Amino acid sequence: MTMTTQWKLQPTDVFQSSKLVPVMVIENIQDAVPLAKALVAGGIKVLEVTLRTDCALEAIAAIAREVPEALVGAGTVMNRKQLAEVEAAGAKFAISPGASRDLLIAGKESSIPLIPGVASISEVMKGLELGYTEFKFFPAEASGGVAALKAFSGPLNGVVFCPTGGIGVHNYKDYLALKNVACVGGSWMAPADLVNQGQWQQITDICQQTLA
């Protein structure tokens, strides 16, 4: 049963806007906007703010308001309630580490696109049944990495992934070289120690060096 959507943006728009998707863990609300600006200055447009911290919703709202050139979305969206919360906060898209059937249905009913997390072909098939064709592949390195995605490309024609988990400067190009990978995600572009120290220029430099 493929479900139609009222999505304001398509998952392919998110995937095509940036080859790199920084996974942001924001502990202090005052870091949200400077961190987003540092990433944007480094050439990155798509930002994933994880719902792992208390101020995550506030951070999404602040970035949506104050850094309009970024496409800010929410990560770690685990259920229907959280999806509604991030939508209300101003997230332009939602990403989940895995997917329950209820979350997949809620994603289709939402006004913002959901990019569900998968680690296996069976999970992709459950998403495909509802019309999803863009997925987060998580945890990428632990789930077979590049070799797994290469194998997926045989049966899963037309399915596109954003691998995340265990990816960094040392291996992200191997993923981007795959035809079923549009972009890669990771926390290496916004490391906790640099965020805590307010080292915004260093974060911009990491992004620029990675993209160079």
Ligand X SMILES: O=C(O)C(=O)C[C@H](O)[C@H](O)COP(=O)(O)O
Read out DSSP for 11-79?
HHHHHHH-SEEEEE--SSGGGHHHHHHHHHHTT--EEEEETTSTTHHHHHHHHHHH-TTSEEEEE---S
Q: Least distance to ligand X from the beta carbon of 1, Å?
A: 27
17 belongs to the binding site for ligand X (CB under 6 A): no
Nearer to ligand X, 118 or 156 (CB): 118
Indicate the SS3 state at residue 199.
coil
**The pair of three-digit structure tokens given for residue 198, joined into one six-digit string:** 């307010």
Q: Least distance to ligand X from the beta carbon of 21, Å?
A: 9
For β-strands 20-24 and 184-186, DSSP reports them as parallel
186 belongs to the binding site for ligand X (CB under 6 A): yes
Angstrom CA distances, 124 to 19, 118, 129, 131, stand at 21, 6, 9, 10
Span 20-49, contacts to ligand X by CB under 6 A: 23
Check if 66 is active-site.
no
Contact 140, 163 (CB under 8 A): yes
- Stretch in the footprint of ligand X (CB under 6 A) among 1-9, 64-72, 186-194, 198-206: 186-194
11 belongs to the binding site for ligand X (CB under 6 A): no
Catalytic pick from 37, 48, 85, 87? 48
Compute how many residues bind ligand X; rule: CB under 6 A. Answer: 15
Q: Provide the mask over 96-115, with x wherever binding to ligand X is found by CB under 6 A and - wherever it is not.
A: -x------------------
**The pair of three-digit structure tokens given for residue 98, joined into one six-digit string:** 């895995």
75 belongs to the binding site for ligand X (CB under 6 A): yes
187 belongs to the binding site for ligand X (CB under 6 A): yes
Indicate the SS3 state at residue 103.
helix
52 belongs to the binding site for ligand X (CB under 6 A): yes
- Other C-beta atoms lying within 10 Å of the C-beta of residue 78: 15
Check if 108 is active-site.
no
What are the catalytic residues?
48, 136
Residues that bind ligand X (CB under 6 A): 23, 50, 52, 75-76, 97, 138, 164-167, 185-188
